[in-house]
Amino acid sequence: MSVSSNDDIQSVEAKLRQGCWPKVFQVPKVGPELELVFEDGNRKYLSEGKKHLDLSKDHKSQFLDTIANRIWEYKAYPTHMEYTEVAKAIMRTYPCLAEKGSSSGYDEMLNSIKFKMGNLRAKMRKLDCMELNVNSRKRSYPGTSSSKHKKPKRAEINYLPDIPIGEDATRPGLKCASRQRNGRKMPALFLPSELKAEFSRLSNLALDSTFFSSLDQHLDRMVEILSTRQKFQNLFLFETGVGL
């Protein structure tokens, strides 16, 4: 039972997502040409009575590619609310893209982002991205169902990363031992280093510091509960005479 070398783990982590969905989505830089287009569009929007900027087909495709790539850095299957946050962030950064006749001002942009993300997932699936292949109806994986998307759970970032070259089907960066349970071999993590590596892979957080920082947040309440419990125990002993 052992953990792969630090170099192996770092090479795997370089391909993984490095953060959870942000509290405030930041629109990425779109390149010098598009920045000039948007700068001119915002200026005209403010000076000429909220004039809408009509992007060319190439510019729109380039812009949506940039947005989709940034979304992919966080997750492959955003929720409708998260897509909406992206659309709102775009309108805050480039108000010239606000759509006339739309109740929200970003309905068409929202649909375009969803469509672009769908195209990106299709491309990644063709490249045998494990996270997407597990959801493909054209493939069959033991223990999976094609009726529902398998997505990361809360706080998970990299729940199904691709297997690095030279690794087997066990989880990347970890050498999982096995144990017997009900006559079957089950994968297991026995060493603290394995558990910490697995936690870091899933959440991109250090297990020790995360645990103790969370514990500190509840320390006062825990002390209060323990103190109250001790008072009740002392009162019980006094009234019953137990231990006297």
The residue ranking higher by pLDDT, 123 or 189, is 123
Of 105-114, 128-137, 173-182, 234-243, which gets the smallest average pLDDT? 173-182
pTM over 0.85: no
CA 127/CA 120 separation, integer angstroms: 11
Domain ranges (residues) in the chain: 1-16+164-205, 21-133, 208-244
Please say if the pLDDT value at position 176 is more than 70.
no
Alpha carbon distance 212, 208 (integer Å): 6
The confidence score (pLDDT) of residue 218 equals 86
Q: How far apart are CA 202 and CA 161, in angstroms?
A: 10
Q: pLDDT by residue (tens digit) across 107-136?
A: 999 999 999 999 998 898 888 777 777 666
Reported as half-sphere exposure (CB side, CA atoms, 13 A), residue 22 has a value of 13
- Looking at the predicted structure, is the pLDDT value of residue 219 above 70? yes
Q: What is the pLDDT of residue 224?
A: 86
Angstrom distance (rounded) from CA 191 to CA 199: 13
The residue ranking higher by pLDDT, 87 or 192, is 87
CB 213 within 8 A of CB 52: no
Name the least confident of 37-46, 60-69, 193-202.
193-202
pLDDT at 161 over 60: no
Alpha-helical segments (H) within 74-145 = 80-93, 107-126, 130-133
3-state secondary structure of 44: helix
Per-residue confidence (pLDDT) for residue 187, from 0 to 100: 57
